[in-house]
Structure 1
Amino acid sequence: MAGFIKQESIDEVSNKTDIVSVIGEYVQLTQKGNDWWGCCPFHHEKTPSFSVSSDKKFYYCFGCHAKGTVFKFIQEMENCSFSEAVESLAKKSGVQVEYTSTGREEYRKDPSIQLKAEYTDLYTRVANSFHYMLMETEAGKFALEYITARGLTKETLEKFKLGYSPADRTWLKKFLKGKNYSDEFLANSGLFSKRYPDISFFNDRLMFPIFNKNGEVVAMGGRFLRGDPSKSPKYLNSSDLIQYKKGSTLYAFNFAKQAIHENHKVIFCEGYMDCIAYHQCGLTYAVAPLGTALTEEQISLVKNYVRDGCVMLSFDSDGAGLAATKRAIIMCRQHDLTVKVIKLSGGKDPAEIMINYGPEVLTNEVNSAILDNDFLLSVLTATYGKDSPDAKLKAAMEFFTYIDALQTDIQKNACLEQFCRTYEVSLDAIRNDYLNRSQIEQKMKKTLPSDQNVKEEKIKVTAESAAVLSVIDDDISFFKKLRNEITVDDLSDSLAKKIFIILEECSRNDNFSVSSILNHCENPELQNLIIKSLQTDSANKEQSVNESIKLLKRNVLKKQNDELQVQICRLERSQLPEDKAQLMELISRRMEISSRLEDLKKRD
């Protein structure tokens, strides 16, 4: 009911809220006279110019002139609306918020407000049910054994409310129908297949509830545990929902925000397990993006908490993780944030270090994090070397992107000087190339393709994988056309299966775009392969896709035909009556497949 709170409720919350205590949770305040003083959370400063008046219930910064009531402060710090700020402070002060009749009228006109609350309640109920399945049932025992073997304690499982989604894909629908939820409401919940509304989106998976910043369950992530890993993505995540936007949500931020404020630092890590491992080891200022690359909105969530501290990056050490680290460094520096990179020994992830070496070792690794400029220079020297003129130029051009993201001339000059020391070049030369980088980039592009061709490792592309690649486009209709005709089980080639699973996951997450598809590719070589397939100029994309689907259908039918022939040969040698009946059925099916193959041949 945002925006229609009674003035009496607002006044009561204001009267019962101690502005000094609230702001003191975010800013270290010292009393001087009747007022309290600290460094402003809204701009950089070393000498306190931010004052808070307990009597006037008002704050003011003499540096940047930020000012307002306790509600305005919470709005700015938590990036929320006025009514959300009132409601948040009302919970702390024990005030029951009341809404105006006008508010109730507008509330009825805007069903999204009610739906957000209802779907949040639904996800909370489902999370509790899955948690019970994990902790208390025989069906979830194997998942509980798996996750405890990964080193998570019962207290951690309770805190993060980890769960298990039953293998029976119809169980959840039956359970929720028994709680009087309507088919239409459940169909739009994101918990069920869009094509088959009785089938659960998550099944036989370890479940990670996703909380909003207020600690309410708004979405889910599920980890694959058993079966054929080539037939299912390792993680399935909720797509954007009315109550959840993954690009503006951080996993575990509800648990971490107080620690982020107190420590003036935040760890951005790879995923659920890494984040939970950090928390269990006492490093409770860790958060994780949710199945996407780090976004501007996610950085904004923590920016005010770490303005005078630093962002620490803990992504995987593989190609995709390195690319994510580089991108995050640039984005954070553009927000004028100090950045460090955590380099875990031996390429291990936080959960491995936690279980094999203990919390102290993980804490030491975090404390040994290096500044981003040192990290980037070490990566550049490992990638290009530093002896040849070409190596120095390529390293410089990549380093210039980082220089561009820095916010002051002093920072830029210091980092350029560091590059000069590392690569043994003159400061005048590097400054000159930095100023003329656009012209240098144009010259380098002319030779870049041939250089890439020499260095790229080839992936073996079969006709089957090429056919699946052909449907990749920002337009999802091509993949839907393929999916209507072919399943992942129909494919024989492992690369084709991998690509199909990536496309299926992007489709399920309602984020089917080239950039999303590339983000789901862990292998840089596969990313390059997809990019090359998109660069292939086809005069008629639809015709090309139709030909690819026809080829795949032909392969599937041939495979089925061969399998039937083997079974027919076996049954032809049998004298049993029941085998004779089955033989006639198989012959009939084979005749049908042969007819379909002939139809495809006629269309060629």
Structure 2
Amino acid sequence: MPGLIAKESIDEVAEKTDIVSLVSEYVPLEQRGSNWWGCCPFHNEKTPSFSVSQDKKFYHCFGCGVSGNVFDFVREMEKLSFVESVEFLAKKAGVQLSYSNGSAKSVDSSASKIKDEYKNLYTRVAGMFHYMLMETPAGKFALGYILKRGLSQEILEKFKIGYSPSDRKWLKQFLLKKNYSEDFLNNSGLFSKNYPDCAFFSDRLMFPIFDKDGDVVAMGGRFLRGDAQKSPKYLNSGDLIQYKKGSTLYAFNFAKSSIREKHKVIFCEGYMDCIAYHQCGITWAVAPLGTSLTDEQISLVKHFVEEIYLSFDSDGAGQKATKRAILMCRKQDVAVKVIRLSGGKDPAEIMLNFGAEYLTNEVNNAIFDSDYLLSKLQELYPKDTPMGKSKASLDFFEYIDSLQSDVQKDACLDQLCQTYGIEKEAARRDYFNRDKVSYRFRNASTEQKNPADSEKIKVTAELQAVMTAVTEDVSLFQKMCECVSVDDLSDSYSKQLFAVMQECQKNGSFSVSNILNRIDQENFRKLIIENVSKNTGRIQESAESCISYLKRNAYKRKKMSIMEKISSLSRSILPEDKALLVELTKQKMELDFQIENLKD
């Protein structure tokens, strides 16, 4: 094992690292006098108080007091140990590190070495998949599909879009011949945990995921053909040693120079939407990886931008995601605009049907987030009724809370009052007493308690999952119905609530109020109300998690049923049963893949 890093090596790394260039990768800097200045990356501020001295290789924030050298900066920004920060900068500077026992390595840390090895593996596999798409008969179907979606050969090459073969065992066999070890491949995330000889991705359009430096660190695969009910539309790599999806943005490596130049960024919904923007020359677009935007992903760009543009789908789920993202961005004190996609459901569809100019025009006509939210409130709550005014106010108060400036809060309160014809002082009183106002709306019938209704309801994971779908957005319940039915549930309260929601859905009367009206037990109604109140502001995220839980349980029940059939056939197999046994085994393997994917 190498010893401590030699002091001479540390000095050499510090000497060869330009602190201004290093900090500029994270924070825009401008030279004033002999020093460089920018907004501090360690606390929120609008006026630059973060000073960097190029000569002294030192930084200091006059706002929060933080200071340090190149190693301190990297440690804080990348969340590394001191040794890892030296190795990180040594690699960038091309310095070979020496150690106290006389050994010499460019990178000592085993974790750093393994990360690099997996990056090399993923880069190689991405190249193979790209070749499969562009040059082989096996990839012809996938190539035809993606070209029909309007993507050019140049953009396919730039993003290294590929195709994973339908033969699940081909990839493992190929890589073993290239002298990769079995253990190394089994821990790569490219193969099933339950069936390690089988590739995790098969017969899918592949999207390599790059880190900010342009290294391939993970994969996403889109479903192409077969039974769409049995396969998720997208399969994505889970967190790996070299990849954390919650702190990575798709296409950030391609977009970062444009983001810094234009001081703005577009957050869109997925791979195809992001690529569509880039093909149309809008190269400052990125996409979150996973189910929803995270605070870490916002932090990646907020020091470079003055505004964040949101471009999520125009369906119900997309609009919920837009509101959530607005609140998250505003809490980090970043201004927000919303791109209203009038020409189609998503940017990829607009690009295909109307072209780059139309999509560019949609971006140029983006509206401020407050205007967007008020327009959506007017679709939900009438302006000419006292109840409509009150409910709209309570909803909009959540946005006002997220604003970091008292001036902005006051201006947006004015905007609400003008839109709904509310007296400013009345709105102010409700804003500062909104907990009481909200309570009155949520608990209009609490005085009519039934004393005999005192049964304590055990909240099982299944019941919690079903209760999460009790919202004003029927699309969340529709998603739940796609993977489970009332017969798939075991908890009696779950079955009761699911049946009630189905009834409301069929009658076109799906709402929290109508669902509660059909629940007889007061304590069950109260439990549902408490659940709805707690989930406010994170419904989409909670619902997706709960739907995954129910899916997983449904898959497990199907798997158990199939295993029982397999066991029965295996005990006394007849010639005519062989084909059925093969088919059941195949179904079991597919279910294993679905269950494994839902764990990530």
Specify the TM-score bucket, using the shorter chain as the normaliser. 0.7 to 0.9
Q: 1 CA distance for matches of 2:21 and 2:443?
A: 61
Do residues 147 (structure 1) and 146 (structure 2) align? yes
Per the alignment, residue 292 of structure 2 pairs with 293
Q: 1 CA distance for matches of 2:127 and 2:50?
A: 43
SS in 1 for 2:138: coil
Per the alignment, residue 360 of structure 1 pairs with 357
**Would the alpha carbon gap of residues 395 and 72 (structure 1) be closer, same or farther in structure 2, given more than 3 Å must change?**
same
In the TM superposition, residue 392 of structure 1 has moved relative to its aligned partner by 1.3
Contact 1:42 1:304 in 2 (8 A): no
Contact 1:27 1:41 in 2 (8 A): no
Deviations 1:401-456 (A, max 9, x none): 1111111222211111110000001111111111111112222222599xx89996
Q: How does 1:111-150 map to 2 (within 5 A)?
A: 112-150=111-149
**Would the alpha carbon gap of residues 161 and 80 (structure 1) be closer, same or farther in structure 2, given more than 3 Å must change?**
farther
Q: How does 1:93-112 map to 2 (within 5 A)?
A: 93-98=93-98, 101=101, 112=111
Farther off after superposition, 418-427 or 455-464: 455-464
Q: 2 CA distance for matches of 1:379 and 1:58?
A: 49
SS in 1 for 2:151: coil
Instruction: State the TM-score, normalized to the length of structure 2.
Output: 0.72
Deviations 1:180-202 (A, max 9, x none): 23333322222222222222110
Do residues 324 (structure 1) and 325 (structure 2) align? no
The count of residues paired between Structure 1 and Structure 2 equals 503
Q: Which amino acid aligns with 1:19?
A: I
SS in 2 for 1:152: coil
Deviations 1:480-536 (A, max 9, x none): xxxxxxxxxxxxxxxxxxxxxxxxxxxxxxxxxx98672279xxxxx7xx99x99xx
Do residues 431 (structure 1) and 428 (structure 2) align? yes
SS in 2 for 1:366: helix
Q: How does 1:6-25 map to 2 (within 5 A)?
A: 6-23=6-23
Q: Which amino acid aligns with 1:241?
A: L
Q: 2 CA distance for matches of 1:588 and 1:78?
A: 54
Per the alignment, residue 600 of structure 1 pairs with none
In the TM superposition, residue 114 of structure 1 has moved relative to its aligned partner by 4.0
Q: 1 CA distance for matches of 2:337 and 2:445?
A: 31
Identity rate, percent: 60
**Would the alpha carbon gap of residues 2 and 101 (structure 1) be closer, same or farther in structure 2, given more than 3 Å must change?**
closer
Contact 2:268 2:286 in 1 (8 A): yes
**Would the alpha carbon gap of residues 422 and 117 (structure 1) be closer, same or farther in structure 2, given more than 3 Å must change?**
same
Q: Which amino acid aligns with 2:364?
A: N
Per the alignment, residue 341 of structure 2 pairs with 344
Per the alignment, residue 391 of structure 1 pairs with 388
Q: 2 CA distance for matches of 1:240 and 1:584?
A: 45
SS in 1 for 2:229: helix
SS in 2 for 1:345: coil
Do residues 244 (structure 1) and 243 (structure 2) align? yes
Q: 2 CA distance for matches of 1:463 and 1:234?
A: 14
Do residues 234 (structure 1) and 233 (structure 2) align? yes
In the TM superposition, residue 3 of structure 1 has moved relative to its aligned partner by 11
Contact 1:77 1:304 in 2 (8 A): no
Do residues 403 (structure 1) and 400 (structure 2) align? yes
SS in 2 for 1:291: coil
- Say which of 350, 364, 372 aligns to 2:369: 372
SS in 1 for 2:250: coil
Q: 1 CA distance for matches of 2:299 and 2:142?
A: 35
Do residues 466 (structure 1) and 486 (structure 2) align? yes
Q: 1 CA distance for matches of 2:19 and 2:472?
A: 64
Q: How does 1:257-268 map to 2 (within 5 A)?
A: 257-268=256-267
Per the alignment, residue 69 of structure 1 pairs with 69
Contact 2:97 2:104 in 1 (8 A): no
**Would the alpha carbon gap of residues 464 and 59 (structure 1) be closer, same or farther in structure 2, given more than 3 Å must change?**
closer
SS in 1 for 2:225: coil
Aligned Cα root-mean-square deviation (Å): 4.3
Contact 2:2 2:101 in 1 (8 A): no
Per the alignment, residue 29 of structure 1 pairs with 30
Farther off after superposition, 314-323 or 2-11: 2-11
**Would the alpha carbon gap of residues 143 and 5 (structure 1) be closer, same or farther in structure 2, given more than 3 Å must change?**
farther
Q: 2 CA distance for matches of 1:587 and 1:352?
A: 46
Contact 2:209 2:219 in 1 (8 A): yes
In the TM superposition, residue 27 of structure 1 has moved relative to its aligned partner by 2.5
Q: 2 CA distance for matches of 1:442 and 1:104?
A: 67
Farther off after superposition, 255-264 or 41-50: 41-50
Larger Rg: 1
Q: Which amino acid aligns with 1:218?
A: V
Q: 2 CA distance for matches of 1:134 and 1:435?
A: 59
**Would the alpha carbon gap of residues 63 and 471 (structure 1) be closer, same or farther in structure 2, given more than 3 Å must change?**
same
In the TM superposition, residue 19 of structure 1 has moved relative to its aligned partner by 3.4
In the TM superposition, residue 58 of structure 1 has moved relative to its aligned partner by 2.5
Per the alignment, residue 54 of structure 1 pairs with 54
Q: Which runs of 5+ in 2 are unaligned?
A: 447-469, 494-538, 585-600
Farther off after superposition, 78-87 or 5-14: 78-87
Q: 1 CA distance for matches of 2:72 and 2:431?
A: 43
Q: 1 CA distance for matches of 2:292 and 2:189?
A: 21
In the TM superposition, residue 86 of structure 1 has moved relative to its aligned partner by 4.7
Q: 2 CA distance for matches of 1:472 and 1:125?
A: 52
Q: 2 CA distance for matches of 1:404 and 1:79?
A: 30
**Would the alpha carbon gap of residues 456 and 341 (structure 1) be closer, same or farther in structure 2, given more than 3 Å must change?**
closer
In the TM superposition, residue 373 of structure 1 has moved relative to its aligned partner by 0.9
Do residues 186 (structure 1) and 166 (structure 2) align? no
Contact 1:3 1:82 in 2 (8 A): no
Instruction: State the TM-score, normalized to the length of structure 1.
Output: 0.72
Contact 1:79 1:301 in 2 (8 A): no
Deviations 1:582-601 (A, max 9, x none): 999479999xx9xxxxxxxx
Deviations 1:14-35 (A, max 9, x none): 3234434444564342353x44
